[in-house]
Amino acid sequence: MKKRIIALVLILAVTLGVGLIRTTKASEVKEFTAKVLTNSELIKVGQEVELQFSYDISGNGENISNIGITYTIPSNLQVTTLPDDKWSIVGNTLKGNNLNFNPRGKIEFVIKLKAISTGKIDKFGTAQLKYNYNKGNDKTKDVVEEILTNEVQLFNRLSSAPLNSLIIDPTNINIEANIKNKRTDNGRSFLYLDEPLEVEYKLTPQGEINVERKPVDIVLVVDTSGSMQLKNTYRKVNEIDFEGRITNGLSTNHIYKYLIREYKYSKITGDVYSKVYFTDSQNIKDYYNNRETADFFYKYYYQSFDNQEYFNTKMYKTTLAAKNLLNKIYDESIQNIKDDKVAVVDFDTRVNNPNDSLLSINVTNNKNYLIQRVDRMYGNGGTNIHEGLLIAEKYLDSDNRDVEKHIIVLTDGMPTFYIEGSAKESYKTKYGEIIDVYGKYLGPGSQPNDTTKNITKNKVSELKSKYKVHFIALNTEAGDIDASFFDEIKKIDAGISEIINNADNLQNLFNQIYKSITKSIVYTNLKFEQTIPSQLQVEEVYVDGNKIVNYQYVNGKLTVNLSDIVFENKKGTPPPLTINVKYKSLDTGVVSLNDAMISGEKLVEGSKYDYTNSCRVESIEIKPRDFYNYVNFNNIEVNRSLVPNNTFVTVNVDITNKQLFNMDSNARVELIVTPLTDGGVEVIKDTQENKFIYNGLTQSISDRFRLRITSENVKEKQVTYRVTAIKVIYKGNEYNINQDIDKYFGNNMPSITVMVKKFTLR
């Protein structure tokens, strides 16, 4: 009995084993990947990326045949290199047929793609791999077709990090340099030492943007916390709040938007009393303006004014910039016939308008409503960036159209509150409105902590997968910006992030972000830099023909800050820019300026990228010709102009400019001082060698000459002392100067006349 059971078990095991063998594939393609590799998320037209396919076959591959790959190339790209003749292009479809297999590992193919037109590629589509599988060993029988598909992903070639999109940018700023006043001798460029070196740097924008953009949704998230409208000093004021309640003698450092002046006239005594109230409510201001009331004892008259002090606050400058942005979006939307939608989120401790929605801004009433939302803003309360992001997300998610979506956040502080949960409750805003809100606000209130910071950062990371999130941190008086926190926000790379130190720059930054959103390309924070060798000194700088004085020349480097260069969508190429620099040569020899560079940031498709470009400046030889810019003298002096016969006169010359000796410490300058006469006077030097030799240590040199009239009948004679030549020894070379000697003496003839006279004793 046991033998029969064992036999049955063996038969069953064999049967199951055979069945298992028949249902398990001997070979199969078990892995298929497709990816695009690029060195940068931002490339130019003409640059190449790599399309890489790979697959892995299990087993010995005897059951596999007719392996093929099919992929539709994005319209912005073009195939430039195929692996071999098994690959072909039909229209914009890439096909590989009868491809190889390797039973011991992966097969990989690389195809080169070139960017041929501008645009942004968010999705690269799907690649498909097909192959025939034969259930037996004969590949002509029992053949079935099997298909694998794979989403083509974009990766950084160097770091292997995944990328969100590939942006093909046709723009560039070319830089070239030219020495305008150079001389040439046998094909070699040179200038003389006394001539300025004039270099023109030309910045030429190249390319243009001509793309049809999608409509955009933009949510402007504005911090209206208390620090947006504060000053450092406290004082006592009389306040009228949004509900008309009056508080007298309130101690505050808040700067109110409006002031109301009350005039109280006594019916009994005729005396007039005045009092000033402050408010942030436009309605309160309008209610009191030119209002007259009376009671039994007094008549009251009120006048309302804008508070001039408010115009210097961050809050006011923010509202100006926000309204300017809304008007720009309105104009652009109408001009390009786009249904762009906008919302404004006003947040402090909580969002004050969570139940608004996106509005089509090309409708004038909608634009005006959004501007009214901005106009009523005033600074009071904490900083709940988290809820601002939540409400912006709600607005954007409500639009199911095929649009590009952006959040622009402005804050002058750190997150001090966040939202937890979603329970509905009532909330009274600082404007006196009762609204429905969702979730409880939690947080320390006065200062941020790790919880408020981490929740805010995590929300930005989460939103990045759906749309761009741009951050502007306003780091100014009474604010609370932690640069390290905003550096972490910047590293999330959800959009354009910037810390600015002046609220006056908000308008320009809003405009830059909006231009990049609407497909324009903005080159911003541009600066020109040129390293200056020690032989040169900067004398003058011109930008587009206008002399500037606010350039920087520090540690041998010239830096010039430049205005933005904007490639506006469908508006052609910006004009070129020229920078002219005049240098003074301090030394002879070959001068090498090396590379001139422009650097800055490029705003493209709502993202920010570093930008640099450079050019080589040609070398030029500086030759000596005239040294009068580097060495000068006072005119000749004598100790007396009337010289008794056969006595001495002392001739003296002081040096006034010794720059030549700074250029060459071994330099020497010799003045050839010659006494000139019409004869009849004997001139004998006190020493035989010429003493008028100057070096870096010399201040003044003098020499004595004995003068004697040789004719007995002549009682007096004139002698003129004149510098008739200058000899310069500079860097081992000798230069003899016989012309324009007066230039070395302040353009005065270097000479002096004395009278030699015989005196008789009576």
Could you report the per-residue pLDDT of 370-413, keeping only the tens digit for each? 999 999 999 999 999 999 999 999 999 999 999 999 999 999 99
Neighbouring C-beta atoms of residue 477, cutoff 10 Å: 12
Cα–Cα distance measured from residue 315 to residue 411, given in angstroms and rounded to the nearest whole number: 10
Q: Give 528-576 as a 3 state SS string.
A: EEEECCCCEEEEEEEECCEEECCCEEECCEEEEECCCEEECCCCCCCCC
H or E segment and range at residue 723: strand 716-730
What DSSP assignment string belongs to 395-434?
A: HHHT--SS-EEEEEEEESS----EEEEEEEEEEE-TTS-E
566-592 confidence digits (pLDDT tens): 999 989 999 999 999 999 988 888 999
Report whether 169 contacts 522 (CB < 8 A): no
648-676 confidence digits (pLDDT tens): 999 999 999 998 998 889 999 999 999 99
588-613 confidence digits (pLDDT tens): 889 999 899 999 999 998 888 899 99
Cα–Cα distance measured from residue 393 to residue 374, given in angstroms and rounded to the nearest whole number: 19
Closest by CA to 581, choosing from 181, 174, 172, is 181
What average pLDDT does the segment 49-76 reach? 86
pLDDT band at 23 (very low <50, low <70, confident <90, very high): very low
Closest by CA to 525, choosing from 467, 610, 627, 607, is 610
Closest by CA to 746, choosing from 652, 632, 631, is 632
pLDDT band at 309 (very low <50, low <70, confident <90, very high): very high
Q: Which two tokens stand for residue 617?
A: 């400046």
> 7 phi and psi, to 5 degrees?
-65, -45
Q: What pLDDT is recorded for position 762?
A: 56
Cα–Cα distance measured from residue 120 to residue 513, given in angstroms and rounded to the nearest whole number: 17
Beta-bridged to residue 612, according to DSSP, are: 599
Domains defined for the chain, CATH in brackets: 25-169 (2.60.40.740), 172-211+522-623 (2.60.40.740), 216-223+312-518 (3.40.50.410), 232-304 (no CATH), 632-757 (2.60.40)
531-564 confidence digits (pLDDT tens): 999 889 999 999 999 999 999 999 999 999 999 9
The whole-angstrom distance between residue 294's C-alpha and the CA centroid of its chain comes to: 61
Burial of 336 (C-beta count, 10 Å sphere; 0-12/13-18/19+): middle
Residue 8 has pLDDT above 60, yes or no: no
Residue 137 has pLDDT above 80, yes or no: no
Cα–Cα distance measured from residue 579 to residue 602, given in angstroms and rounded to the nearest whole number: 21
Q: Which two tokens stand for residue 405?
A: 């979506």
Report whether 589 contacts 611 (CB < 8 A): no
Report whether 105 contacts 74 (CB < 8 A): no
The residue among 499 and 15 whose pLDDT is bigger is 499
Return the ∠ at Cα 324 (arms to 319 and 327), rounded to 5°: 125
Which segment, 1-5, 193-197, 416-420, 626-630, is predicted with the most confidence on average? Answer: 416-420
Mean pLDDT of the chain: 90
Radius of gyration over every alpha carbon of the chain, rounded to an integer in angstroms: 43
Neighbouring C-beta atoms of residue 209, cutoff 10 Å: 22
Closest by CA to 276, choosing from 313, 309, 316, 249, is 249
554-571 burial string, b = 16+ CB within 10 Å, else e?
eeeebebebebbbbbbee
Closest by CA to 80, choosing from 33, 53, 46, is 46
Q: What pLDDT is recorded for position 30?
A: 76
Helix 314-335 and helix 364-375, axial crossing angle in degrees, nearest 10: 170
Q: Position 615: which residue type?
A: C
H or E segment and range at residue 265: strand 258-266
How far lies 280's CA from each of 153, 375, 376, in Å? Answer: 53, 11, 8
Neighbouring C-beta atoms of residue 267, cutoff 10 Å: 11
Residue 1 has pLDDT above 70, yes or no: no
Q: Position 440: which residue type?
A: K
Q: Which residues lie below 8 Å from residue 158, measured CB to CB, with a gap of 6+?
A: 39
Q: Which residues lie below 8 Å from residue 576, measured CB to CB, with a gap of 6+?
A: 202, 203, 204, 205
- Residue 14: strand, helix, or coil: helix
Cα–Cα distance measured from residue 507 to residue 322, given in angstroms and rounded to the nearest whole number: 7
Q: What pLDDT is recorded for position 646?
A: 93
Residue 263 has pLDDT above 80, yes or no: yes
Residue 357 has pLDDT above 70, yes or no: yes
Q: Which two tokens stand for residue 439?
A: 């979730």
Q: Which two tokens stand for residue 259?
A: 């002031």
Return the ∠ at Cα 475 (arms to 473 and 416), rounded to 5°: 65
Q: Which two tokens stand for residue 696?
A: 């870096």
Q: What pLDDT is recorded for position 19?
A: 37
Q: What pLDDT is recorded for position 21?
A: 38
What average pLDDT does the segment 238-259 reach? 95
Residue 5 has pLDDT above 50, yes or no: no
Q: Which residues lie below 8 Å from residue 478, measured CB to CB, with a gap of 6+?
A: 227, 230, 231, 232, 314, 412
Cα–Cα distance measured from residue 715 to residue 145, given in angstroms and rounded to the nearest whole number: 132
Burial of 204 (C-beta count, 10 Å sphere; 0-12/13-18/19+): middle
What average pLDDT does the segment 352-364 reach? 97
With a pLDDT cut of 90, the percent of the chain lying above it is 73
Neighbouring C-beta atoms of residue 295, cutoff 10 Å: 8
Q: Which residue has the tokens 């009948």?
A: 713
Cα-based torsion angle of the residue sequence 501, 505, 511, 517 in order, rounded to the nearest 10 degrees: -10
Handedness of CA 23, 26, 27, 31 (dihedral sign): positive
Q: What's the DSSP call for residue 353?
A: -
Q: Which residues lie below 8 Å from residue 572, measured CB to CB, with a gap of 6+?
A: 208
Q: Position 713: which residue type?
A: N
What average pLDDT does the segment 443-471 reach? 94
Beta strands 77-81 and 359-360: pairing type?
A: unpaired
Q: Which residues lie below 8 Å from residue 17, measured CB to CB, with a gap of 6+?
A: none
What average pLDDT does the segment 55-72 reach? 82
Report whether 388 contacts 347 (CB < 8 A): yes
How far lies 204's CA from each of 513, 526, 581, 652, in Å? Answer: 23, 14, 17, 58
What average pLDDT does the segment 292-319 reach? 96
What average pLDDT does the segment 88-108 reach? 86
Q: Which residue has the tokens 């309130």?
A: 250
What average pLDDT does the segment 250-262 reach? 96
